[in-house]
Amino acid sequence: MSRTASRTPEYWFSDAAVPLPARALSGVYGALVALRQRFYRWGLLRPKRAEVPVIVVGNITAGGTGKTPLTIALVERLRAAGYKPGVASRGYGRRDEGTPRWVDAQTPPEEGGDEPVLIARQTGIRVRVDRDRVAAARALAEAGCNVVICDDGLQHYRLHRDIEIEVIDGQRRYGNGRLLPAGPLREPVERAAGCDFRVVNLPAPDAETGFGEWPMHLHADVALPLRGGRPRALAAFAGQRVHAVAGIGNPARFFAMLKGFGIAVVPHAYVDHHDYRADDFEFGSELPVLMTEKDAVKCAGFATPWFYSVPVAARLPEAFWVGLLEKLATRAGPPQTAR
């Protein structure tokens, strides 16, 4: 697989012309999306409850927007408020996506999925991966969780949700505004208006949000050696050349963040959820290798002393958390004692 491989067509996020076949397929896709939404609106299809409150974190565009850092931040805030949260995820990219399983800090990423394993390692909470989010949420409830966060489940209408959070890439937004495959949209832009909270992952601290949007900044300041040892401040890499590795929805965001520290980045972009091998890192020069946490969970087995993970933390206004907890208490009641 090419080190610059990408599944994102150039015209999704530019003014480039959209090929006629993509426009035609987009019309078919849009009709199917609209029909499915009507079936739920008319009651022909009904969402199923999980017996505990459910918060869905997702996006209406294809690709990464910063959902995983926000999910981790949600876990910590809910836990601090007295809840016992669990996370439900499909576990995209794992070896056998058809088999439900529990994920913990020791689960191999190829079996649990890179994002669920990262969440489990960061938080220590119960994480369940299953294509059927309803089954995953119910398993978490049975395991004693009294609130479920569904990671990337905005279009999984079978699962009843109490709160919906849309996450938006502040750089790319909705791209050319077209539905798949002519553009990046999984659903029409109007769908976003129905979400309880709209969180924008901003590219810079001075960037601004629109009306009804909440700003989120991903803060990073250290690099952690994959083979153990003392953390290094990112600022310590200023003026140095490094290999920067990112197999996420928008690798350019990670590269730009490192450049903001004055680091001379040699970029290596991979497709989202790339399955790394040791030969992916044969770059021809022995420089420090900085990568996202999501990539790092898949590289520990062949890491050298030059490999570093760059953790990020989602930061949002305190008013966002107050509003979220108030809405959760209103719709689902205060924290109930877990079974």
Output the pLDDT for position 4. Answer: 47
Q: What does the pLDDT read at residue 229?
A: 87
pLDDT band for position 203 (cuts 50, 70, 90): confident
Nearest-10 crossing angle of helices 67-80, 318-332:
70
Predicted local confidence at residue 117, as pLDDT: 94
pLDDT given for residue 42 in this prediction:
94
What does the pLDDT average to over 120-126? 96
User: What kind of fold does domain 30-217+315-332 have according to CATH?
Assistant: Rossmann fold (3.40.50)
Euclidean distance between CA atoms 220 and 234, whole angstroms: 8
Residue showing tokens 């004692």: 337
pLDDT, tens digit, for every residue of 26-50?
Answer: 999 999 999 999 999 999 999 999 9
pLDDT score for 336: 63
Q: Is the pLDDT of residue 83 over 70?
A: yes
Q: What are 164's two structure tokens?
A: 């919906």
Sign of CA dihedral 163, 164, 168, 173: negative
Task: List pLDDT tens digits, range 263-303.
Answer: 999 999 998 888 889 888 988 788 999 999 999 999 988 88
